[in-house]
Structure 1
C-alpha cells in the first residue's frame, strides 16, 4: 500500500504515544473529526496486503500492529523511489516548457548530484515513449515536446498515481486544489444532466482526468497549440454536425473553465472535450457514434475469431453479444484513433480469471491490424473490457442480475450507492432502494432477488438471500467484491 501524507501522520501519532489511543485523542492531535479518524483507519486496513495494521479493543481505542506495520513500511520504502520519479515528472509536465530549478524539484529528497543526473536519464527513457525529452540549461530543466504528447503522458501518470473518487471532501489526499476538483466534478454532472443520462465508469473518470490536465496545463504551464480550430478536417466537422448537442455541451463546459481560471481557452479545447464525451459509454448508449461498416466488420471478426476457437459456445446468444459488443467497440474506435486512454482496475483479475479468453482477444486485435489495416493498437486495458463482454455471455450471464439496495434508515446513503453501482455495473437490474424497516415489512416481495447490497452488518439481516456488505460510498474494494460475487450468483 502507498501511504498518503495524512496516513503517515496517523502512524506517527500512534507510534509516538505508547498504548491504546482513543479516536477523540487522535482527532485532537491531528485537528480532524472523530468520524475522519474511523474512516482513515478503515481505509488503511482495507488497503493492507498483510492484515489489519491498526487494531482496536472496546473501551481502549486503537493501537498499531507492529508486525504488520513494519511489513507495510518496508513495502512503502520500495515504492518511494517510483513515487518520487512520478511526482517529479508530474511537476515538469504541468509546467512545460517553463524551466524548473533542480534544487526546487528535489528539495524534499536527499539525493546527490550524481543520483539526480542518473534519475533524469531514466526519466528521459520513459518520456521517449511519448516523443518528449528533458532539456537542461545549467541547473534548470524543462520538458520539450508537443502539447498532445504532454497530455497523453500526464493522463497516463495521473491514472497510475491517483484514483479520483466521486466526491471530494476533507479526506481528499490529492496534492491538488480542492476547489479545482470540485469544479470538474460539477462539470461531469452538468454533462450528464444536459445529455439526460449518466456516463458509466471508467469513462466519467476519463473526462475528469482530461479536464483536470487541461486546467492545470493552462494554470501552471505555457500551452503551445499546434492545431487551430480552422484546421479541423472534413471528417471532424461532419462529426460536430452530427452531434451538435454534444458539441454545445462541450462548449459550455470549456466556457465555464475559462471563466474559472481567467484564461481564454482556444476553441480547439471544445473539440478535444467533444471527442472525450463521444468516446464514452452512456447508460443507454444514446450518444455513441453512429455504427458504420468498419465497426460492424471489427465486431464480427472478434466474435468469429474468439468463438471459433472455444468449446461449448453452441448455445451462446450471438445476437445479444453482437449488440453489446458493437456499442462498446464504436466509442472504443474513437478512443484508439484519438489516443484516449482508459483505466481498467479489474485488468489483473481478468487476466487471471479468463486467461485463455483474454489471450484470444489480444490475438484477434493483432490480426485485425494485419488483415484489415485498421492499426487499432488495442491496449491491454481495452482488451480487458472486451474480454468481460465475452465472459458474460459464455458463462450464461446474459440475464440481468437483480439487486436490492438497503441501509439502516432512510434511503439517502442507498441512493448514493445505487448511482455508483449503476455507473460501475450498468448491466445489473437494481430492483429497489429501501430502508431496513421497509425491507423487513415487505420481505415476501423480494423472493426473486439475486443479491442484496447493504451497508448493514449481516447479523441484522434475517433472510436467505445472498448479501454483500459494502461501504455507502462504494469504494474500489467494494467494486472488486461485487464483480467477483456476480460471477457466482
Structure 2
C-alpha cells in the first residue's frame, strides 16, 4: 500500500479516527490514552497525523477542546469513503479479515464478481484471493450459502436472501465497534458499501420506532438485542431498496408477528417501500430469537404509572383551571412518555429551537407541571430533569391546543410515502387531532400529478424540496411535537388567509359504539371481523383489528357478578378472576401472582375508595385483554405495610397483554370512579345487566 506523502497511519491512529466517526459518542485525550495504554502526548501526535490526512482530503480536522475533549465536525463521516482508497493508510489485513471481507463482497454483489475485482477492492494480489477462496467457501457453506464459479464470469453466491442477511449481520456484529478489534472489519465492510450507514437523524428515527413498539407491545429488548435489531433493520432497508425484498411466505405467524408488523409499518413508510408478508415473517423470527429484559416488576407497576399519570393530569388541570381529564390522546401520550423517561429509554439531552420556543411560550404550563412533579418523582424514585420536564410541557400544551377545537375550513393533503395501511394509520392520527378537510393522501412522486390546486396546506412525512407551497414536515409517528408544529402552521396561515371556522357537527360518527351493540348478536368471530371492517369502511375510518376495547365491551353482563361472599381479599381476588380463568383469558399462575403483588406492594390496587383493580404483569400468565367485576356482599379489608386499612366492596380483575390495549378501558374506569353518583348507582344495581347498562351509560358520557 502507498502512503500519503510520507504520512503513515498506525493502527492506533486509525482506531482513534474510527471511534471519532461515531456521532453518538464523545472522547477525551485522557480516555484514549488509558484505552491504548500510551501517554496523552502520544495520542496528540496520533491525532496530528490523522489531521494531516484529513486536510489532504479537504475534511475538517479534529480540534482539541477544553479538558482534553476532542471536537469533530459533521463531515468527519466523509473519512469513511477514504477507507476504500489505496493510499489512505498502511494496514495489512489478516487472513481472517480478508475472508470476512471477501464473504461480504460476495453477499453484496448483484451478480458475478471476479477474483481480480475482489483483489482490487482488498488491495491484495489475485493469488492471495485464490489461496483464501476455499476457506471462504467453507465459512459461507456453514451459513447455508454456496459459492459457485462460472467460467468467464467469475463467482456468484447462491442461497436464500434471509441467509444472506443473517450472514452479513454476523459479519457486521464481529468485534463490537470502537472498543474492539472487529472495528477494522466493520469499517472495511461499510467502506465497501456493504453495510447500511444511516444519517444520524434517520438512525434516531429508527431507534424511536423500535422504542415505541417496545412500549406498545410491552416487550423490552436487552441492550445487545436492541443493537442487533437496529443493525438488522439497517441491512434490511438497504437490501429492500436494492430490490432484494423477501416476498415468499410460510404462512406461520409466530408470537412476535404483530410486533414485527407494527415495526415494519413505520419503517416502510419512513424509507418509502412496500410492506411484504415475507419481510414480516422474517422479522418475527428475529424478534423471537432476541433476548428481552424480565420486566415483571415493571409490568406490575404499569397500572400504577397509568394511575399516577391520571392523578397528575387532575392536579395540573386544577392548577390551570382547565379540564384535561377526559382527553384520552393526551393521557395515552403522557403515559408513554413518562414510561420512557422512568425506564431510561428517553435519551434526548439537548433542546432544539422549536422545543425552546414552545416552553418559553407556555410558562404557565411549566409552572403548573413543576408544582406537581413531586408525585411523579416519588413514584419513580428520582428527580426529573429539565429536558424531561420540557417534554411534559409539550404534551400538556398539545392537549390545551386540542381542547380549543380548531374546527377550520382547511383543505389539506397528506404526503405519506408508505403502504395503504400505514397511510391510513397516519390519517387516523390526523383526524383525531384536527377537524380540517383532508383532501387526499398521496406519495411524494404523485404530488405534482395529483391535480390538487385549491389546497391550503400539505402535511408531509418527507422533505418536499421542489414544492413551493405551504407545507409542514412531521414524523410518521405524529407525536405531540408534530401536532404543535402543524398547529403553529395553521395559526400562521389563518392570520394570512383569514380562513373561517367551521360549524361543529352535532354528533360524531362512532363505529366502535355501533359494533359494541352488534357484538352480542354475532357469535362467529370471523363474521364479526368482516362486519367490523364493513362498518369502519362505511364511516370512512381505518379498521384496526387490534384497537383498544372500551370498558363497556370488557364489562358486559357475563363479566359482572353481584353480592359475592368472600372471606378476605385473597378470596375476593380468586373469585373476581375465576370467570377469566375459566374462559382462558388468564392462567392459574396469574391469580397467584396478583395475590403476591398485593402482599409485596400493599393496597395500591385500590384505585378509588372501595374499588380495587387486581392485576399483574402480562408475562405472569395473561393471554387476552379482559375484565371481570364482582360486588361483594360484605366488604373486605386490604392492609398495607404501613398499617393503613382499605375497606373494599368492588374487585375488578384486569388481564393485560401489553402496555396499551387495556388503556382506554382503564382510563374511562378511573374517570368514572371520580363521579360519586356512578359509584352510588353501582352499589344500588339489582342485577348484572343493570350494572352493565350503568357502566355503558357513564362511559358514553365520558366520551362525549
> What band does the TM-score fall into relative to the shorter chain?
0.3 to 0.5
TM-score calculated relative to the size of structure 2: 0.29
Please, what TM-score do these two structures have when normalized by structure 1? 0.40
Q: Which has the larger radius of gyration?
A: 2
